[in-house]
Amino acid sequence: MKNVIAFFDFDGTITSKDTLFEIIRFQKGDAAFYAGMAVLSPLLVMFKMKMISNQRMKEIVLKYFFRNMPATQFQQACNAFCEKRLPAILRPKALNALAWHKAEGHVVYIVTASAENWVAPWSNTLGIPCLGSVLEVKNGLLTGLLTGRNCNGDEKVCRIREAVHLTTFHAIYAYGDSSGDKEMLALAQHKGFRAFE
């Protein structure tokens, strides 16, 4: 059936691991990753206790590992990540679902809290647009901050409504795996929660 749209979360839905941590390990190496996590562990505990917001914690991690990194260098490394590391953590069932929606002629979007830098290079090869968090760049360097809001929770719905007119679709599918996807899942008649595990 035409006039159908499908929204896929990325981390934990299409992938088996959190790609923020994977992109750090890929770009900085395991030793630097684990050393950084040790330094940040008190803040991570506060985050788990909901004393620090999702966006604030993400920016703390991004600042620690990537602040003042040239954006072009970062993007080149993200492109390499999509080619060399990402395929190993993609869920086969999720790839099958993406392929089915595409074969049926449905409109498909990836909607993710991860930065577009390391999701879009992969999704674009499938002809699927990505709506994700946007990293702030000043004078060609990453600041470690986000431009706008973290693409999670109700922000996913805001980004979707900016990108498409949902009333023009007869059916909406949505796939997610966490509480950050519940607002997106609520848009859909066909909901897939942890459907690919």
Each residue of 129-142: pLDDT tens digit?
A: 999 999 999 999 99
Output the pLDDT for position 112. 98
Structure tokens at 167: 């009333």
Output the pLDDT for position 164. 96
Cα(40)–Cα(35) distance, integer angstroms: 9
- Which residues share a beta bridge with 90? 15
Cα(93)–Cα(133) distance, integer angstroms: 25
Output the pLDDT for position 141. 98
pLDDT beneath 50: ranges in the chain:
none
CA atoms within 13 A on the CB side of 136: 15
- Mind listing the pLDDT tens digit for each residue in 187-197? 999 999 999 99
Supply the CATH number for residue 187's domain. Answer: 3.40.50.1000
- Which residues share a beta bridge with 70? 141
Output the pLDDT for position 1. 57
* Domain ranges, residue 107: 4-193
Cα(13)–Cα(194) distance, integer angstroms: 7
3-state SS string for the chain = CCCEEEEECCCCCCECCCHHHHHHHHHHCHHHHHHHHHHHHHHHHHHHCCCCCHHHHHHHHHHHHHCCCEHHHHHHHHHHHHHHCHHHHECHHHHHHHHHHHHCCCEEEEEEEEEHHHCHHHHHHCCCCEEEECEEEECCEEEEEECCCCCCCHHHHHHHHHHCCHHHCCEEEEEECCHHHHHHHHCCCEEEECCCC
Structure tokens at 85: 């590391």
Task: Please count the structural domains in the chain.
Answer: 1
Q: Are 69 and 143 in contact (CB under 8 A)?
A: no
